[in-house]
A and B are shown apart, each in its own frame.
Chain A
Amino acid sequence: MAKKKPESKNSDNSDAELNRELLHSMLLQRRFEERTAEAYALGKIGGFCHLYIGQEAVSTGSISLLRPDDYIITTYRDHGQALARGMTPRAVMSELFGRVDGCAHGKGGSMHMFDKSLGFLGGHGIVGAHVPLGTGVGFAIKYRGGDQVCVCFMGESVVNTGAFHEALNMAGLWKLPVVYVIENNRYGMGTSLERASAIHDIYERGAAYNMPRAQCDGQDVFAVRAAVQEAIDRARTESTPTLLEVRTYRFMGHSMSDAVSGTYRSKAELDEYMKRDPIALLRMHMHEQNQLTDEDLQKMDEEIKAVCQDAWDFADASPEPPLEALYEDVYVDTTSDAITEPVAAN
């Protein structure tokens, strides 16, 4: 595969059409998650469920820069990234409802969204454990001599796990094309960064792995795009990993069972951060640039709400998985005896 030079730095914020796409992506995640919360309250969604509200500029900003053949791997807070990558709201909502039309046919649920065709390698539920996996994807890209990249999203609490350290050490050592995006939303469940990490500018941890590193504003989609683009370029053209700390905030509780504010963060703090709602910031920018009228926005919002309603209705009507699915997909039938010819890595 030919190695292409990037065409722009993507910090440009004047492209009206692009800005509309970014806004649409972020607003879809917001409205979708609002309906997710509603469905959870009604008992249509079970288990653990972690909403993405407040962090939409991170998913949209990063994923909007990827090629179709690039890879994404992430944590259990994965609905937003799945939608940003182009998974249909129907497939995501059906998965949340535990129905057969879900992206994992109801076997994964909220924390485990997967779509192989989109290079979406899953939401993973053990904090830190997916970081070596994303590193392995980078290894495979390098092994095959490709110029794809893998974006590995994680919360800031991941940086205190052994898996993070082990994986980033190897990525730095072997120069793997991985962009590690830390979504620093300030809290690992209810424990603040300051109560969990010995250093607070956590992108500096990249120094331990001889890894290029940066910090950016996660509420400003253009700032995210500028930082991620630089990291992607570095991965694609130099096969070099980057540790990027994106400072964001979740507007909801850790999961559906967690109050929005109370024990570990105050209402005042939440209100302060909500003044920098990433969708509002983008909307205001577009208003200032005369790229978006109130009517445009209302129309977009109504369309998105209709899409989310459609996803809900579709998921509600989708059948539960058949009982025989219980024992399916534990193993695949192996091809071990069938393959006799030499096989190339590509």
Chain B
Amino acid sequence: MPVITYRDALNRALREEMQRDDRVFLMGEEVAVYQGAYKVSKGLLQEFGEMRVVDTPITELGFAGVGVGAAMVGLRPIIEFMTWNFGVLALDQVLNSAAKLLYMSGGQFNIPIVFRGPNGAALQLSAQHSQAFESWLAHIPGVKVVTPGTPYDALGLLKAAIRDDNPVCFLEGEMLYNTKGEVPDEEYVIPLGKADLKREGSDCSIITSGKMALLAMTVADQLAKENIHIDVVDLRTVRPMDVEAIKTSVEKTNRAVVLEEGWEICGIGTQVVDYIQRECFDSLDAPVVRVHQADVPMPYAKNLERAAKPDAAKTIAAVKKVMYL
């Protein structure tokens, strides 16, 4: 199977969907002439022209709203945030417009829009450029939140997000764009809301999503050497969440670690743990342990940043804790 980067997978998804549906357009900062701040939109201006690949001023609240308005009357916008850290400026349009118009209008106006861009920490970008927004967005009824971790998932999930008739927040990873993985040449679409069992094991579940799925795989590799076998559940979509997949895994392993990139309080892991205690209470052999970013703004200094982020050592320690090792 061909091996391509996460960046190229996203680019292919955009291209295929724009070829397929004239209503789809891409709008954001530096998406056209510059070819994308992270080159995700490379070549699209040349192929589709400036009406469908639209450079905007630095004006997130404005162009996110332009997208919602265009979606109200039948277009299918893809709004790129250079990072979700800037997407915060547009949160009103996600929360109060995109997510609510269907409900407030009594079912008249669905908003088929994708808000996408890199999310979470990269390297030494400090406090304002290193935030993971999954839980902020997943809190909102009316949007879907997608967090692909691999090139295969990125391609299939972005195509599904663009075809979805609801608002979808699509969270990529700056550190993921250069990662590589197998992606078939044939067209495929991955349904939103379905987790992927990235690895099977019987000793402990690691329930995670997005970039952290790669960390979970690394941890699973290391623990396999100690004869500890991890079930890695990659949620892929954190809203709606695949509760059935969580349940199936935890009922098999009886132990769970929940791993996420963002902060602890009211994080995605909080919700996962709630589902586990509701659905699998009698299956648990140990309390669930969470791994997450330290409850601080992201520091700049290398050593402090390393200490703040979830990593393999912390995750392995968590697994050993729930296994009473």
Residues of A within 8 A of B (CB): 71, 73, 102-108, 112, 114-116, 121-122, 124-126, 129-143, 162-163, 165-167, 169-170, 173, 328-337, 339, 342-346
Contact = CB atoms under 8 A, between A and B. Distances in A.
Contacts, number: 174
B49 to A, nearest CB: 11
Given A143-B51, A334-B165, A137 B106 contact: no
Contact of B69 (A103, A112, A134, A334): A134
Interface string B258-283: 00000000000000000000000000
B325 interface: no
A116 B106 CA distance: 11
B201 interface: no
Contacts of B1: none
A142 B73 CA distance: 12
Given A104-B108, A133-B97, A335-B165, 9 more contacts: A73-B69, A107-B103, A121-B73, A129-B92, A132-B69, A166-B59, A336-B191, A336-B192, A345-B75
A170 B106 contact: no
Interface of B: 19-23, 25, 51, 56-57, 59, 61-75, 77, 92-93, 96-97, 101-110, 141-142, 144, 160, 163-166, 189, 191-192
Contacts of B64: 132
A129 B65 contact: yes
Contacts of B106: 102-108, 114, 329
Contacts of A332: 102, 107, 110, 165-166
Contact of A137 (B73, B77, B110): B73
Interface hub of A134, A173, A332 (most chain B Cβ within 10 A):
A332
B105 A116 contact: yes
A247 B79 CA distance: 36
Nearest to B90: A132
Nearest to A152: B69
Contact of B92 (A106, A126, A140, A142): A126
Contacts of A342: 19-22
Contact of A105 (B59, B68, B107, B164): B107
Contacts of A108: 104-106
Contacts of A125: 96
Contacts of A162: 61
A103 B160 CA distance: 31
A143 B73 CA distance: 11
A140 B107 contact: no
B96 A129 contact: yes
Nearest to A343: B21
A136 B163 contact: no
Given A121-B72, A166-B62, A114 B102 contact: no
Nearest to B167: A331
Interface hub of A103, A106, A173, A334 (most chain B Cβ within 10 A):
A334
A143 B75 contact: yes
B135 to A, nearest CB: 19
Contacts of B142: 330-331
